[in-house]
Amino acid sequence: MQKGVHYIKIQRQKSNNLSTQEDIVAVEEPLEIQVQEFEAKAAYPISVTMRTPGNDEGLALGFLFTEGLLKNYKQVKSVFPFGDNKVVVQLQQGVSIQLDKTDRNFYTTSSCGVCGKTSIEAIKTNSQFKIATHEKPSKKLLFGLQETLSNQQSLFSLTGGIHAAALFNFSGNLLFIQEDVGRHNALDKLIGEAMKNGILPLNKHILLLSGRASFELIQKAVMAGISTIVAVGAPSSLAVELAKEHNQTLIGFLKKDGFNVYSGEVS
């Protein structure tokens, strides 16, 4: 059975016929992210997010990084699941989490990655990376990205209800792809993988999003130093403003024969 999906019996109406069939839906379950400091006897909760199970360790790492709570993977001693819906991040000696820097409540939904923020000032997390001059993606490269994503995005093809975040290099090679019912979770999983593999900042990479480009996704991309963001859907006005502010290339409405450039340039 495919992980991340449930098989359920449904009633399907088509024309004048009603039939009982099996359908596939994406799993959505809570994940509690906990942190345990080096000499502490117990872990403590940082956040609860609604997610599709799979790569919970990467999700936890990516979340802590994009919230500005961790700077690199060297600060982590280990990360492991605790039961079905908890993951614990153990910190190295001398590393601590400063919750007052996030001003975040402990709950976010699968549809909103900034819903737990308690102030406007807390939304704009400061990145340790500066995105300066970077390579311009070619039109040929961009047109090939969506086909590659479609071939790899397995849960979406099964359920139609999953978002994907994929990381490419400028040769068009797919490096990582992550899926989740929450678009921000998919990106956190992706950034967590990049963090574990020691390739941050991602200033020589292209992020492809299966849906729209919202502010929260651009903010996470800024934190990871991602230079080029391509979305199959539309960007929001605030996403465009943030991309321009941080010298990112932002492309939306990617199709097989066209796209819109909202920030930056293509070659």
**E strand map for 52-182:** 76-81, 86-91, 107-108, 163-169, 174-180
Q: What is the full DSSP assignment across 39-69?
A: T-SS-EEEEEEEE-SS-HHHHHHHHHHHTTS
Over residues 114-119, mean pLDDT: 55
Q: What is the mean pLDDT of the chain?
A: 87
Q: Which among 23, 227, 222 is positioned nearest to 133, based on CA atoms?
A: 227
Percent of the chain's residues with pLDDT above 70: 86
- Say if CB 239 and CB 217 are below 8 A apart: yes
129, 195 Cβ separation under 8 angstroms:
no
Q: What is the pLDDT of residues 33-47, one digit of tens each?
A: 999 999 899 999 999
Distance CA 30, CA 110 (A): 9
Which residue type is seen at 245?
E
For the domain 139-263, what is the CATH superfamily, name and number?
Answer: Cytidine Deaminase, domain 2 (3.40.140.10)
Looking at this protein, which amino acid is placed at residue 208? L
Q: Residues 99, 112, 158, 199: which is the catalytic one?
A: 112
Q: What is the pLDDT of residue 1?
A: 44
Residue 132: pLDDT above 90?
no
* Domain edges within the chain: 139-263
Against a cut of 0.85, is the pTM above it?
A: yes
CB 80 within 8 A of CB 60: no
Tally of CB atoms within 10 A around 265: 8
Residue 112 annotated in active site: yes
In the predicted model, what is the mean pLDDT of residues 135-154?
Answer: 85
Cα 185 off chain centre by: 4
Among 151, 144, 142, smallest CA distance to 228 is for 142
CA dist 174 to 66, 147, 165, 171, Å? 22, 11, 11, 9
Query: Residue 58: what are its φ and ψ, rounded to 5°?
Result: -65, -40
- pLDDT tens sequence across 202-248: 999 999 999 999 999 999 999 999 999 999 999 999 999 999 999 99
Could you give the 3-state DSSP secondary structure of residue 191?
Answer: helix
